[in-house]
Structure 1
């Protein structure tokens, strides 16, 4: 219970820091309404759903107004990293998993920012860094892939890994998890240059340094091998059979094949985040026409998700955790919503002999 209270306190502090960034009361009210909208998982995330400001006001707030988005990102990431450090206190060299992957938001509009075709998907493509330690899991950074002629997803992923702060590097034994889209020698070497271990998926046709054209599909589960294009370190191979398909992954640590497979499965945590962020926290509903609007939309998705994780506990559903996060982090907004709901049904209550009077009590 103490941990839950501490997490709730951190959620309230984070919300206060975020709401203190806009310089005017009008903008702070818009940010509060936006956060409340993203925490309302039971309703579609759309600007007209914000209960205390108009859709046009929220659109101007996200697209036009010059409040300091970078400071909000800094406050969010500081809270995320500090929460991980606090969770690992009194642990001896704990293991932190950093999942990296690319997700696409399908979009058909031509006026939306950063829309490209990649892997057959017409939309916006985000490379995300996701930290997992025990019950804590946070999206700690993202980059937008803008298509041919710009930094590749591998380069963007390495840029994200370079942002991991020094206290995290000193405190944790860090392992990077990625799928076969990040199997290149550039990525593997970049991860090792950062001082991190890795478990990365590889294609079945990936060649090894054995004589002839020996690929990973020719090697046994748990075997140690050197990759043809990256021969500087020995890696451990794992084979995972899933029905009629076989998946392969390699680890920089010389573990058993089953050990590599178990670690590789932890990568699915980021897939769960992608699903929840798109279908419950509103990432898929992005429809703003500016790059600044995209950055602020992703910020609100990540902030709402982080607040929900900080308030999670007791086996509740994600929607219940998000509702609790709104009550803890945005109590004034929740009260206003309740008042609006009561006023909306005032005539119905009067017809049935009820008269409701609202007054604020001193606490």
Structure 2
């Protein structure tokens, strides 16, 4: 199997794992241990609630980003991204695509990422793996990824655990900071450093800042475990066992938000990883998430239709606004980094 077919099949394997193995969603985020302050006299008209925020020059109806999922050759992968893009446009939220490595040598795969036509006025985020900067990728490939989407920013995803468990994983993460800095200096759109389910430490954030990055997607553990997914694809029993052993490795999203707290005046942070409803979103914004990334809950709807995705977005928005109202916050600005809205232990 050539590299293109291998990568494309891997994307399909990932989707199948999420759909078929309920244990992939670890349900260990820690959000249930965080209590919001209830306000019985909010002094707000719910119908005048302001849940909007700005992201890369676009106004979002509420701070939701459909986080990176997929893309590649095949009608199913193309259908998923189209449904997500159409729903994002309809509901005025942001959308990130999955890794675009697969499109670099395939015009057929590229079409699944050509989604600006479906979402002309919302933020779209391109995506390549940071480790690929050690395997032949550079400024040209980054620009191709951005231009394909007409993207507002480029995600460089960080996935060292996934790569170690993945049978065909790339393991050389040495010297990436200098290469990230080179991209940050020359790419015409912002770079977002994103983990894929293990969270970011303060050291990670500082290294990103030193490289000129000002956006970070924390992507904590407790939601989708990519270590567990890759364990299912492993050919050797020892590698399968290793993937399961590390399936709960890393920082949760609340822990990652805590790690990011001292950097809030230098960068913006996307809270993602195990966010499963609008209440989790409100908690994340209060703890410093500028917007909230959600992926897994949108996969099944995206396989069905644009309307199914819209319905799921609507459910997130309704819960977000009810929780926002019940803590007495008239706007998302009133939520952001407002520790007074949390019940302290």
Mark yes or no: TM-score above 0.5: no
Structure number, greater radius of gyration:
1
TM-score, normalised to structure 1's length? 0.30
